[in-house]
Amino acid sequence: MDQSSWNKLVAEYTPPFGAFLQSWEWGDFQTALGFKVVRLHEQVKDKLVVAQAIEYPLPLKSSYWHVPKGPLGDATPKVAIDLLSKKLRGGAFLKLEPVTRPRRGVKAKDRQPSVTTIIDLTQPEAKIVENMKQKTRYNIRLAEKKGVTASIVEIDRFEDLVRLMQQTAERDKFSLHEVERYKTMLKMLRGPDCKAFMAMAFYEDRPLAANIMIDAFGVRTYLHGASSNLYRNVMAPYALHNFLIWDAKAKGLVAYDFWGIAPPEAGDDHAWAGISRFKNGFGGAVVRMPGTIDVSKNRVMFTLYQLAKKVRR
């Protein structure tokens, strides 16, 4: 199956969010990082299973298979799991992010967000603005008044992105991927169905906020974001997302995915509480998926993996 045919299948059976992770382009990106990628599409009793699986290494010369935001298709979870277990050679277990929670398998720590907020861009502009929280609308107007501008930028701004991401990681105490991974993503995800790009907000010609975005299957996804320690009072991140929302709508995309929030029932002590307040301020609808499910293929190796996780904790 070629790239175009594969992406048509993903578009037909798209998950509630995160379909770009099943795109052909994302698989090629993972291959460029050195991982083995297998794409499966098979009819089982007139039902289709579609899954792009990535093999990741484990100690003791073992591995596991990750199917991000999948498997897809119209087969039952049981049929899909049975097929994946049979077709994906080796590996201690399957790490799945299915659309429907299977009976088999154990809930694991989410590999990708399982709860997000999504703006329906097919709504009238006035309705999108109305759904934003008052404080968000105020901060957008404030950024405009201060003269903050935003635009899509080319790869020659990559060092600015890295600098802002390093500041953000240090300020908010989280770890970054290797820098080369971000550059490879921007270079590899250039297909017609899945494209990664950078956008930045500027104040007095200084880049203050930067995002890596992905447009795929009619959805614009906010994958990575960063902001400067300087001039935080001019609200550059608000201006940046506001620009990207209206740019996506103008280009005919149907949804804007903020890519991960804390569950609405979570308290203020949740690690994502602060960023979730920011994202929720733009008025999107909360969308849930079952999350990450581990399904054993090799009972001994899977048990060792689970024990190792407990030790690390």
Determine the pLDDT at residue 45.
87
Segment holding 273, helix H or strand E: helix 273-280
Determine the pLDDT at residue 183.
96
Strands 219-227 and 255-257: parallel
Determine the pLDDT at residue 174.
84
Provide the CA 260 distance to its chain's centre, in angstroms: 8
Q: Is the pLDDT at 305 greater than 90, yes or no?
A: no
Q: Based on the fold, state whether residues 126 and 269 are members of the same structural domain.
A: yes
Q: Is the pLDDT at 173 greater than 90, yes or no?
A: no
Between residues 311 and 23, the one the model is more confident about: 23
Q: Based on the fold, state whether residues 161 and 40 are members of the same structural domain.
A: no
Neighbours of 286 (CB within 10 A): 12
- Looking up residue 151, the CATH number of its domain turns out to be 3.40.630.30
Average pLDDT over residues 68-77: 97
**What is the C-alpha to C-alpha distance for residues 88 and 36, in angstroms, rounded to an integer?**
11
Q: Based on the fold, state whether residues 208 and 248 are members of the same structural domain.
A: yes
Instruction: Give the phi and the psi of residue 65 in degrees, each rounded to 5.
Output: -110, 125
Q: Based on the fold, state whether residues 75 and 207 are members of the same structural domain.
A: no
Q: Based on the fold, state whether residues 24 and 157 are members of the same structural domain.
A: no
Q: 2-6, 57-61, 133-137, 217-221: which has the minimum mean pLDDT? A: 57-61
CA distances from 225 to 90, 112, 222 (A): 36, 16, 7
Q: Based on the fold, state whether residues 97 and 122 are members of the same structural domain.
A: no
Contact 77, 289 (CB under 8 A): no
CA distances from 41 to 72, 74, 98, 105, 295 (A): 9, 11, 15, 22, 20
Average pLDDT over residues 85-109: 95
Q: How many independent structural domains does the chain possess? A: 2
Question: What is the extent of the structural domain holding 44?
Answer: 3-112+290-312
Neighbours of 90 (CB within 10 A): 14
| pLDDT, tens digit (0-9, with 9 covering 90-100), for 214-241 | 999 999 999 999 999 999 999 999 999 9
Q: Based on the fold, state whether residues 302 and 280 are members of the same structural domain.
A: no
Shortest CA distance to 170 belongs to which of 240, 223, 229?
A: 229
Task: With cut-offs at 50, 70 and 90, classify the pLDDT of residue 15.
Answer: very high
Neighbours of 216 (CB within 10 A): 27
Neighbours of 7 (CB within 10 A): 22
Q: Is the pLDDT at 144 greater than 90, yes or no?
A: yes
Mean pLDDT score of the chain: 95
Q: Based on the fold, state whether residues 147 and 246 are members of the same structural domain.
A: yes
Q: Based on the fold, state whether residues 154 and 269 are members of the same structural domain.
A: yes
**Omega into 71 within 30° of 0, i.e. cis?**
yes
Between residues 271 and 279, the one the model is more confident about: 279
Contact 70, 51 (CB under 8 A): yes
Q: Based on the fold, state whether residues 32 and 93 are members of the same structural domain.
A: yes
| pLDDT, tens digit (0-9, with 9 covering 90-100), for 115-125 | 999 999 999 99
Strands 293-296 and 93-96: antiparallel
Average pLDDT over residues 253-270: 95
Q: Is the pLDDT at 6 greater than 90, yes or no?
A: yes
Q: Which long-range contacts (CB under 8 A, 24 or more apart) does 270-278 make?
A: 278/237
Q: Based on the fold, state whether residues 196 and 244 are members of the same structural domain.
A: yes
Q: Is the pLDDT at 308 greater than 80, yes or no?
A: no
Q: Is the pLDDT at 164 greater than 70, yes or no?
A: yes
Q: Is the pLDDT at 290 greater than 70, yes or no?
A: yes
Task: With cut-offs at 50, 70 and 90, classify the pLDDT of residue 313.
Answer: low
Determine the pLDDT at residue 195.
98
Determine the pLDDT at residue 167.
95
CA quadruple 283, 285, 286, 289: dihedral sign: negative
Q: Based on the fold, state whether residues 281 and 294 are members of the same structural domain.
A: no
